[in-house]
Amino acid sequence: MQDEKVVRTDDEWRSLLTPEQFRVLRRGGTEPAGTGEYTDLEKRGVYRCAGCGSELFSSADKFHSGSGWPSFTQPLKAEAIEEHEDRSFGMSRTEVTCARCSGHLGHVFADGPDPTGLRYCINSVALSFVPEEADEG
């Protein structure tokens, strides 16, 4: 079921994720800027959560922010993500997590382009890109 929460133990997540995926998704880590495989990707498709497969972002909302991380103006659906105040590292930021598995995705900032003015700054390693299918027939 798409809307059921995914709850797993750390040991279960460790067996399902790469060490870097675990560090980011389950420990709130951040991949080094400019190292992610999706930062400059322009293909059409959907970005799913690398933890649970939930559809999170669309290539239609992706833009080049110059930050070194994949950036989107909005999620595919508002319900797909959750936002939380994050005061770690002496900063006040808004953390973005997957609504289905609670995995850490990145942060959202108010310096994005139209139409929302928002910049969802998301770790590539927290995402799994699914290219748009070619039209059949």
Cis amide bond preceding 115, omega within 30 = yes
Which of the following is catalytic: 49, 52, 101, 121? 121
From the CB of 80, what's the least distance to Fe ion, in Å?
A: 9
From the CB of 106, what's the least distance to Fe ion, in Å?
A: 13
103 binds Fe ion (CB under 5 A): yes
Q: Which residue, 13 or 69, is less far from Fe ion as judged by CB?
A: 13
Two tokens at 96? 């973005």
Residue 121 catalytic? yes
Q: Is 120 helix (H, G, I), strand (E, B) or coil?
A: strand
From the CB of 72, what's the least distance to Fe ion, in Å?
A: 16
Residue 118 and residue 136: Cα distance in Å, rounded?
35
Residue 24 and residue 107: Cα distance in Å, rounded?
12
The interface with Fe ion within residues 62-101 (CB under 5 A) comprises: 98, 100-101
C-alpha separations of 49 from 5, 43, 87, 111, 137 in Å: 13, 17, 24, 24, 30
Q: Would residue 2 be called left, alpha or beta, if left means φ above 0 and alpha means ψ between -120 and 50 degrees?
A: alpha
Contact with Fe ion (CB under 5 A) among 17, 24, 52, 118: 52
Q: Which residue, 7 or 111, is less far from Fe ion as judged by CB?
A: 7
Query: Which residues pair with residue 45 across a beta bridge?
Result: 131
From the CB of 7, what's the least distance to Fe ion, in Å?
A: 11
Q: Which residue, 15 or 40, is less far from Fe ion as judged by CB?
A: 15
Residues that bind Fe ion (CB under 5 A): 49, 51-52, 54, 98, 100-101, 103
Q: Where in the sequence numbering do the catalytic residues fall?
A: 121
